[in-house]
């Protein structure tokens, strides 16, 4: 296409490298990785460029400041390959993160304005940027090359290769922006919310576009097209960070003297252990992290003195900066066995899950149903009349004011809740005891449902049977959440 040839020739004339030319011609990863083929299929290779004997040493690219030079990329790949820090990660996948100087945005804008003036029929100032972003092109190339060098596939769930570039002339080049749009920088230093940088990337993209700058003023202070420089970008550093891994499963709490999470009040531990800590001590070493770094969440919670039985309570362990991005089946089985050995809790169905699955834990929390069994006591032998009153097949509504026992840490609110069913049985072991199975809306305070909390829960079992009734023991029997996937390792 003649228009593409004219654009290519102009970009080359102002000292754009061939990869940057392809960026302005909507090139793709394959074009950036094989520049000659990318140019040939567009009929853009001149006879001089095809003949190595006629090639002269090129200026540093005005668009990428040498970022795409083959020697620079090869040095980067070699540094990653030989890094002892990278070898510490036992990950099946890798990810990449690239940080580039903001000056590249300025140079892109300068080229953009040059193209608007040179090719008015092809470009419009209200249109999106005319090129594939430098970072996108570099990532497309780098990820392909890293796959070959590391022998691992790219995935957002893998260990992150973080690459930082710097440019010695950035401060001087960006400094002229004060003359282009001085209002952007007024009182910036005095504003405590502004960062220490001269200008942030977001601020540049918001205030410096073809539609927001005065072209005449911009050309007065900034070279259009960008000026050739002798020194380009430099590789500042390469670092590595592990992925965030999510483990899900179900737990049963067997002890009546165990909090779900560490219970620390006024700097003092109230309980020696917790569900979270028992799990973390077993799971954390496998992923090479400190057990304190794990983040625990679950579908609801039970009190310290309440057991969680049945299929168990779904939970998630979030593991930031893990040194592994996979969980072997044998390792999962060993973790389950080690946690079971505590005799305080038992877990099942331990598995890795994706981040987007975490919605199951909290989504529709108040619409879920919870199934409880309570051992209740009254002050006289249980009668058939009492049992009949506590066998309620139809759903009914209650109102619960924040219980007195949690009022120090919960706001004072009236909470409407639904009780779906109540079934009561006489205890054979104690004539004054009643076993009650109750199905409730999530968030119901069961203890207060039983004794009424001095009238703060209405109706309550106390008001229903017309006499005092209290709760001796409580178990969670089931939770209305079919997640995560059931693995049945222990059957």
Contact 260, 270 (CB under 8 A): no
Distance CA 421, CA 111 (A): 71
Beta strands in 112-233 (DSSP E): 159-166
- The residues near 129 (Cβ < 8 Å, ≥ 6 apart) are 108, 112
Distance CA 388, CA 392 (A): 8
Angle at 141 between CA 137 and CA 146, to 5 degrees: 145
Distance CA 102, CA 452 (A): 64
Distance CA 449, CA 15 (A): 78
Half-sphere exposure of 265 (CA within 13 A, CB side): 7
Rg (CA), the chain: 33
Out of 4, 136, 303, 480, which one is annotated catalytic?
Answer: 303
Taken in order 400, 403, 404, 407, is the CA torsion positive or negative? negative
Distance CA 161, CA 152 (A): 12
In angstroms, what CA-CA distances link 475 with 89, 307, 405, 472?
42, 5, 19, 11
How many C-beta atoms lie closer than 10 Å to residue 410's C-beta? 11
Tally helices (H) and strands (E) across the chain. 19, 15
Contact 32, 38 (CB under 8 A): yes
Q: Is 303 a catalytic residue?
A: yes
DSSP assigned state of 355: G
Catalytic residue list:
303
């Amino acid at each position: 296409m003649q228009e593409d040839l004219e654009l290519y020739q102009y970009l080359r004339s102002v000292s754009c490298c061939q990869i940057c030319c392809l960026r302005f011609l909507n090139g793709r990863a394959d074009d950036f990785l094989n520049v000659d083929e990318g140019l040939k299929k567009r009929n853009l290779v001149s006879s001089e460029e095809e003949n190595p004997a006629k090639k002269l040493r090129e200026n540093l690219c005005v668009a990428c400041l040498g970022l795409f030079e083959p020697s620079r990329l090869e040095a980067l790949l070699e540094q990653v390959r030989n890094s002892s820090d990278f070898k510490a990660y036992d990950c099946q996948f890798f990810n990449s993160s690239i940080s580039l100087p903001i000056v590249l945005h300025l140079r892109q804008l300068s080229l953009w304005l040059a193209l608007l003036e040179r090719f008015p029929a092809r470009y419009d100032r209200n249109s999106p940027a005319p090129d594939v972003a430098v970072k996108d092109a570099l990532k497309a190339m780098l990820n392909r090359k890293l796959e070959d060098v590391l022998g691992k596939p790219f995935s957002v769930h893998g260990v992150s290769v973080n690459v930082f570039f710097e440019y010695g002339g950035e401060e001087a080049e960006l400094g002229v922006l004060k003359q282009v749009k001085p209002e952007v920088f007024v009182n910036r230093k005095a504003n405590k919310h502004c960062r220490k940088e001269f200008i942030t990337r977001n601020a540049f993209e918001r205030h410096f576009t073809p539609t927001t700058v005065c072209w005449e003023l911009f050309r007065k202070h900034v070279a259009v097209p960008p000026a050739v420089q002798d020194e380009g970008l430099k590789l500042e550093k390469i670092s590595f960070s592990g992925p965030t891994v999510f483990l899900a499963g179900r737990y049963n709490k067997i002890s009546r003297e165990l909090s779900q999470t560490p219970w620390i009040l006024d700097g003092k531990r109230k309980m020696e252990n917790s569900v979270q800590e028992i799990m973390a001590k077993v799971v954390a070493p496998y992923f090479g992290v400190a057990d304190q770094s794990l983040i625990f969440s679950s579908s609801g919670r039970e009190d310290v003195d309440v057991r969680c039985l049945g299929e168990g309570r779904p939970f998630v362990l979030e593991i930031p900066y893990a040194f592994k991005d996979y969980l072997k089946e044998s390792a999962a089985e060993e973790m389950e066995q080690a946690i079971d050995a505590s005799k305080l809790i038992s877990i099942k169905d331990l598995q890795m899950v994706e981040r987007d699955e975490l919605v199951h834990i909290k989504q529709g929390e108040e619409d879920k149903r919870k199934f409880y069994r309570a051992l209740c006591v009254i002050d006289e032998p249980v009668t058939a009349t009492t049992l009949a009153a506590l066998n309620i097949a139809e759903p009914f509504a209650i109102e619960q004011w924040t219980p007195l026992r949690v009022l120090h840490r919960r706001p004072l609110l009236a909470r409407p809740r639904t009780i779906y069913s109540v079934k009561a049985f006489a205890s054979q072991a104690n004539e004054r005891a009643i076993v009650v199975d109750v199905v409730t809306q999530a968030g119901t305070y069961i203890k207060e449902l039983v004794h009424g909390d001095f009238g703060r829960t209405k109706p309550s079992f106390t008001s229903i049977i017309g006499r005092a009734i209290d709760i001796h023991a409580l178990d969670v029997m089931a939770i209305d959440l079919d997640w995560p996937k059931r693995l049945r390792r222990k059957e």
